[in-house]
Amino acid sequence: MVVKVGVIGTGAMGRAHIDRLTNVLTGAKVVAVTDINQEAAEAAVHDFKLDAKVYPDDTSLLQDPDIDAVFVVSFGGAHEATVLKALDTDKFIFTEKPLATTLEGAKRIVDKEMTKPRKVIQVGFMRRYDEAIHELKTKLDSGIIGKPLVVRASHINPDVAANYSNEMAITDTLIHEIDEMHWLLDDDYASIQITYPRQSSKVNNEGLRDPQLATLTTKKGVVVQVLVHVTAQYGYEVKLEVVGETGELKLPDDGFAPIVRTQATQQTAIETSWVKRFLQAYNTEVQEFINQVAQNQSPIGPSAWEGYIAAVTAEAGIRSQKDQEPVLINVATTPAFYQKKQAVQA
Ligand code: NAD
Ligand code: NAI
Ligand code: ISE
C-alpha cells in the first residue's frame, strides 16, 4: 500500500519532509498540501512536481477521505489546533515538535488521543533516530562507563528567525534535549533551572536572551547541563558528553567534511543547518512512520505522551526563565494507553 500523505505547513521543514517523502523514501505519496500562506503551498507543489491538491486550510485538507496520514509541519504554536482536529478523523498523525507549546495544549491532545482505540500520533523527536546518538545510548546501556552521573550538551544554531521568542529557546530548541535526555538516561526529570550568562551582542530579537544554560536534574540524581546558543554565527552543531562512574561517552564531531591542512593551518567545515546534520535521522524516523501506517499499525516512535512530558518540562523551564530559580517537575504516571503494545488493527 502506498500511504497517501497530506502536509500541513510547507515552510522550510515542510518542504524538507515533502522532498524526502517524494524523492528519497519509499511507500508514500504526497497527495495534498496546505499552508496559511497559499503561495507557499502552491510553490511546494510546483517545485517538487507533486500531483497534489492545494487546500485552503487544515480543516478542508483533513476532510479529504483519500488521505491516510498527515504531517503537521506548521509553526509550533499552530500544532495543537491542527492535531486536535486531525484526531477527529481516522488519519495517522506525524507532528513536528513541539507537540504543543503549552502544557495544557499537550494535555488536551493526550486526553483526546486516549479516547481512540489506539495510538495514532508520532512526534518528530528525530534525535533518537540519529545513528551516532543511538550508538552512544547502546554503549551507555551496556554499562561500559557504569552509571551515568553528569551529562554535558550544547545546542548551537547560527541564528534564528525574526519571530523567535525567548520562550522558543525552550519550546522550540531545548525541547530536543528535553526529550533526548529523558530517553537516553531512561530517567524522569525532577527539576529544571534556566540561567542567563552574559548576553551576546549578536541577538537581534527583542526579549531573547542568548545564550541560556539549562540544568535538568533527574530523579536518580543525574545532572544534565545544556548550553542553548542560537545566535552563535559560526555554524549548527550539537554536542553531547556523558560522564559515568568508570568512563565517559562523547559524540564525535559531526564528521561531514574532510580535514584540510594547508598554509600552516588545519580546517574542517562546520554544518550550518539541521537539514543536513540530521538528514539520516529525519529519513529514518519518517520511513519508520510510513512503514507502520502502510501496515495500518500504530506509530512506534516518540508518542504524544512523550510530547506531553516534554511540554511539562518546557513549561517548568519557562517559569524558571522568569527568576532563574530551579522549578520542580512532576509528571503523572504513564497511562496504560501509552504503555501497552498496540493492536495491529483498529
Ligand atoms: P517555517 O516557518 O519555515 O514553515 C512553517 C510554515 O507553516 C509556513 O509556511 C507557514 O505559513 C505555515 N503555517 C503556519 N501555521 C500554519 C497552519 N495553521 N496551517 C498551515 N500552515 C501553517 O517553519 P519550519 O522551520 O518549517 O518549522 C516547521 C516545524 O518544523 C516547526 O514545528 C518546527 O519546530 C519544526 N522543525 C523541526 C526541526 C527538527 O529538527 N525536528 C527543524 C526545523 C523545524
Ligand atoms: P517555517 O516558518 O519555515 O514554516 C512554517 C510554515 O507553517 C510556514 O510556511 C507557515 O506559513 C505555515 N503555517 C503556520 N501556521 C500555519 C497554520 N496554522 N496552518 C498552516 N500552515 C501554517 O518553519 P519550519 O522551520 O519549517 O518549522 C516548522 C515546524 O518544524 C516547527 O514545528 C518546527 O519546530 C519544526 N522543525 C523541526 C525540526 C527538527 O529538527 N525536527 C527542524 C526545523 C523545524
Ligand atoms: C528548529 O525548529 C529545530 O527543531 C532545530 O533542530 C533546532 O536546532 C532549532 O533550534 C529549532 O528552532
Residue nearest to atom 9 of ligand 2 (CA): 11
ipTM: 0.85
Give 129 Cα–ligand 1 centroid separation in angstroms: 20
Give residue 344's pLDDT band: very low, low, confident or very high (50, 70, 90): very low
pLDDT score for 340:
63
**pLDDT average, residue stretch 324-334:** 96
Do residues 16 and 73 make contact, with C-beta atoms less than 8 angstroms apart? no
Q: Which superfamily does 3-127+280-302 belong to?
A: NAD(P)-binding Rossmann-like Domain (3.40.50.720)
In degrees rounded to 5, what are phi and psi of residue 241?
-145, 125
Q: Give the tens place of pLDDT for each residue, 146-204.
A: 999 999 999 999 999 999 999 999 999 999 999 999 999 999 999 999 999 999 999 99
Q: What percent of the chain has pLDDT over 90?
A: 93
Residue nearest to atom 23 of ligand 1 (CA): 11
- Residues in Cβ contact with 104 at an 8 Å cutoff, skipping those fewer than 6 apart: none
Dist. CA 120–CA 124, nearest whole Å? 13
pLDDT score for 262:
87
Write the secondary structure of 165-205 as one string of H (helix), E (strand) and C (coil).
CCCHHHHHHHHHHHHHHHHHHCCCEEEEEEECCCCCCCCCC
Dist. CA 24–CA 43, nearest whole Å? 20
At how many degrees (to 10) do helices 131-142 and 279-294 cross?
80
The reply to whether the predicted model has a pTM over 0.80 is: yes
- Residues in Cβ contact with 221 at an 8 Å cutoff, skipping those fewer than 6 apart: none
Indicate which atom in ligand 3 lies nearest the CA of residue 168.
12
Pick the CATH number of 131-272+307-338 from 3.40.50.10210, 3.90.1150.10, 3.90.420.10, 3.30.360.10: 3.30.360.10
**pLDDT average, residue stretch 224-230:** 98
pLDDT score for 68:
98
Q: Which residues approach ligand 1 with their CB closer than 6 A?
A: 8-14, 34-37, 40, 58, 73-76, 78, 82, 96-97, 124, 126, 172, 274, 278
pLDDT score for 346:
35
Sheet containing strand 69-72, strands side by side? 53-55, 28-34, 3-8, 69-72, 92-95, 121-123
Beta bridge partners of 32: 6, 53
Q: Give the tens place of pLDDT for each residue, 3-51.
A: 999 999 999 999 999 999 999 999 999 999 999 999 999 999 999 999 9
List the domain boundaries for the chain: 3-127+280-302, 131-272+307-338
Dist. CA 120–CA 296, nearest whole Å? 10
Give residue 341's pLDDT band: very low, low, confident or very high (50, 70, 90): low
